[in-house]
Amino acid sequence: MNGDDAVDETAGTDAAPGASSDLLARAQAWLAQDPDGQTRAELRDVIEAASSGAPDAVGDLADRFAGRLAFGTAGLRGRLGAGSNRMNRVLVGQAAAGFAAYLLEKNEGDTPPTVVIGYDGRRNSDVFAVDSAEIFAGAGLRAILLPRLLPTPVLAFAVRRLGADAGVMVTASHNPPDDNGYKVYLGGVDDGAQIVSPADAEIAAHIERVAAVGDLAAIPRSLGYETAAETVVEDYVAATAAVAPAPAGAEGLRWVYTAMHGVGAETLSRILEAAGYPAPTVVEAQIEPDGRFPTVSFPNPEEPGAMDLAFETARAAEAELIIANDPDADRLAVAIPDAAADGGWRRLTGNQVGLLLGWRAARLASPGEGASLACSLVSSPGLGAVAEHYGLDFHTTLTGFKWISRAPGMVFGFEEALGYLVNPETVRDKDGISAAIAMLGLVAEARGRGATLADLLAEFDETFGSFASDQISVRVEDLSDIGRIMAALRAQHPASIGDVAVEKVDDLLEGVDGFPPGDVLRFWLEGGSRIIVRPSGTEPKLKLYLDVRGDSPADAEERIAALSSGARDLLDAIG
């Protein structure tokens, strides 16, 4: 059967009244190589129902095999389940074999490449990690599996600490509970950073070649992988504790911590002890790893309701501060008491936290030696004001720490989505644990002079100006809607957004300011405001990032509210 014959996956045939014979053949071929009893049973049931013509089952089967989860600069990420369009042991096995082939192709030394594998507490993370270790070892690589489930930053650290050629972290970070993923790092000249082009395309090509054979059992495996010594974790603990040893103001600090059902708590508690900070009151229901995420529908501190239990715990503890990690602990959220906020607590934005941590880094940096601050182009331009104030270089990059981590001379980098890199000599990726230690250091220093975190925010405004940001996320069911909206904005640039005139439009698909081409539109507005529009790299969302600079905090808030209203009206007009 040729490709044209397979277009209508729901067309009836003599052999299968509901699903096409091509679709059923692909599903059966997948079933034959699946080593996982759970996903085999799941797929067998769907095939049986689709063969009998059940419409929901036909649609389900078609979706499972509508394509392959694409391997890109974010690695793999998707919903758990059977099929080429899901995360499962077949897909992960093919990815591991393809990545091994890539590393062997690039290897120029006499010794085999070394790859480190880590995993978090999501469902099947440990299984995918062991499968990968066995396949890497079977391909002749030196494979080192981290000793237990650990935060993503520990894996990023281990790539550099062990001098590895590559690293793999099995995690879906802050994605919904049913997701998992496969994040890839490179050592050597990449210095433990996440992959960027063209490595992603080259790895993807190797994976496709493995997948085309369609026989997972034929991929060599070996139990000859190593388990990393505990000293790797101990070294990470020591290096992170050194980011901000507790000053005198830390004594008596009352604070709350949540791991969001993730893997951050154990490692953070060891670092707190080593750095000399008082232990937090923890959100008991969320402190242990649990891949079901029973108390949150979406384990992302940015999502509405995700920090409600932390707020409740903080009220009871009369805390001064809340710190939250996402499930793999590469992101940090911070909340402070606020009588004007619903429930008496307010989560700071990623930009607010990033600007405070950037201010801290700038004070510690040595100007005139090429030191720089860096952030993604959708993050607050306030970081540029900090860099200018301290005589440091400043870089904006495409979104993602795969780009931020490569900024020349970077001593600090951040992105507004709660990602912060405070110790680039240790970890070349966002690290929610080291960022938590840096934030505790800031809070403790302020306490030592009778100030609060809210006071630090006010001091920032007085020193650098009043910056305000907002974000609009449009979640879609059909990914084509994102392309349609981007195409409409490109076809006819708005003359104004709300009452503010658009002065200039940058289309990063055309390559702007040295950025690699990307699906990003940047609107510069009268008065220095801006709006940036881009598809999310990890979720079915279109994102709009709004930034203004006002004459005062009140003026900035007024400007951002008006701009946000205008942006929503623009989206409504596009439909």
- φ, ψ of residue 220 in degrees (nearest 5): -60, 140
* Contact between 418 and 326 (Cβ < 8 Å): yes
Among residues 20, 84, 132, 173, the one annotated as catalytic is 173
How many other CB atoms are there within 10 angstroms of residue 7's CB atom?
9
* Contact between 68 and 85 (Cβ < 8 Å): yes
Burial of 205 (0-12, 13-18, 19+ CB in 10 A): middle
- For this structure, is 269 an active site residue? no
Close Cβ partners of 214 (under 8 Å, ≥ 6 residues apart): 29, 33
- φ, ψ of residue 256 in degrees (nearest 5): -120, 145
Give the separation between CA 540 and CA 563, rounded to whole angstroms: 24
* Residue from 174, 179, 545 nearest 324 by CA: 174
* Residue from 10, 17, 28 nearest 82 by CA: 28
Close Cβ partners of 103 (under 8 Å, ≥ 6 residues apart): 113, 115, 141, 165, 166
Record the tokens describing residue 312, joined without a space: 């409740």
Chain center to CA of 120: 14
* Contact between 472 and 485 (Cβ < 8 Å): no
Give the separation between CA 548 and CA 459, rounded to whole angstroms: 18
E-assigned strand segments in 124-178? 142-145, 166-170
Written as one letter, the residue type at 210 is V
Provide the annotated active-site residues: 173
